[in-house]
Homo-oligomer: A and B are copies of this chain.
Amino acid sequence: MELKVYVDRLSQPSRAIVIFCKVNKIDFEEVGIELLKGQHLTPEFKQINPMGKVPAILVDGKFKLFESHAILIFLASACPGVAEHWYPADPYRRAEIHSILDWHHSNLRRGSTEFIQNTLLAPFFGRPLNPQAAAEAEKVLSSSLSKIEALWLKESGQFLQGSSQPSIADLCLVCEIMQLEFLGETDRNRILGPFKKIQRWIEDTKNATNPYFDEVHQSLFAAKAKLQMPS
């Protein structure tokens, strides 16, 4: 399978896909699409993903797919050698992973994206910051983190649903939370500080996917420094 992966490592779902491919030794070509330069909106990229968003993939020069969860499920299913724990065949375990990933869209992802946009990134995309929207997003974000701790992080295992090895849901959600590294320390500590199980889970997911996790997240820290955001 010839695989092109269109990503910007500053985007959390893009990072999840690059880490997944590297950890699972999937042969792929990474095509950088720089969001801050508007490269996702070019006619050329819209030939790959008409929605104008990263990540997207092109398989064997003809099959195009967007939406990161769908991409991860496809790669876990179609690429030989991906370990079972990433996307278990058991219909019950698989259903729980789908449920967490579906929940992600309108909860953790929505809270995280809107908070970061409205406290920090909006001006880089020509929009004003919106403190009221940021305050509402923080509520969604904190409530989402609280639900992850209460429902899915158990004492019995390091990963979601008490598993001893990560699934694609761990990778997607942890990459989402890592986006908070864009924030200044005060905001980040206020939001993440109360969630000790989440902090441990991030470390466990990092350890399970290193050296790739750290390598792929370097872009985030480099961009933060370049954009002169407060640490």
Q: Is A99 interfacial (CB-CB < 8 Å)?
A: yes
Q: How large is the interface on A (under 10, 10 to 19, 20 to 34, 35 or more residues)?
A: 20 to 34
| A73 interface neighbour in B63, B78, B98, B150, Cβ under 8 Å | B98
- Looking at the complex, which one of B50, B73, B99 makes contact with A65 (CB distance below 8 Å)? B99
CB 8 Å contact bits of A35-76 with B (1 = contact, 0 = none): 000000000000000110000000000010111111101100
CB atoms of A74 and B98 under 8 A apart: yes
Report B-chain residues with C-beta under 8 Å of the C-beta of A50. Answer: 147, 150-151
Contact segment of A21-29, A100-108, A156-164, A194-202: A100-108
The interface residues of chain B lying within 8 Å CB-to-CB of A66 are 99, 103
Contacts of A95 in B (CB 8 A): 65, 70-71, 73-74, 77
Query: Does A110 make an interface contact (CB < 8 A)?
Result: yes
| Copies of this chain present | 2
A91 contacts across to B, CB distance below 8 A: 74, 77-78
Interface of A is mostly: helix
Name A70's contact: one of B67, B74, B99, B106 (CB within 8 Å): B99
Q: Is A96 an interface residue, CB under 8 A from the partner?
A: yes
**CB nearest neighbor in B for A104:** B105
Query: Which residues of B have CB within 8 Å of A98?
Result: 67, 69-70, 73-74
Are A67 and B147 touching (Cβ within 8 A)? no
Cα–Cα, bound, A78→B91 (Å) = 7
Report B-chain residues with C-beta under 8 Å of the C-beta of A110: 106
> How far, in Å, is A189 (CB) from chain B's closest CB?
27
Let me know if B150 and A102 touch, CB within 8 A. no
Which residues of chain B are within 8 angstroms of A99 by Cβ–Cβ distance? 65-67, 70
Q: Are A70 and B151 in contact (CB under 8 A)?
A: no
**Min C-beta distance of A20 to chain B, whole Å:** 15
Interface residues of A (CB under 8 A from B): 50-51, 63, 65-71, 73-74, 77-78, 91-92, 94-96, 98-99, 101-103, 105-106, 109-110, 147, 150-151
Shortest beta-carbon contacts, A-B, top 3: A105-B105, A70-B98, A67-B102
Q: List 25 A-B contacts (CB under 8 A).
A: A50-B150, A50-B151, A51-B103, A63-B92, A65-B95, A65-B99, A66-B99, A66-B103, A67-B102, A67-B103, A68-B102, A69-B102, A70-B95, A70-B96, A70-B99, A70-B101, A73-B98, A74-B98, A77-B94, A77-B95, A78-B91, A101-B102, A102-B105, A106-B109, A106-B110
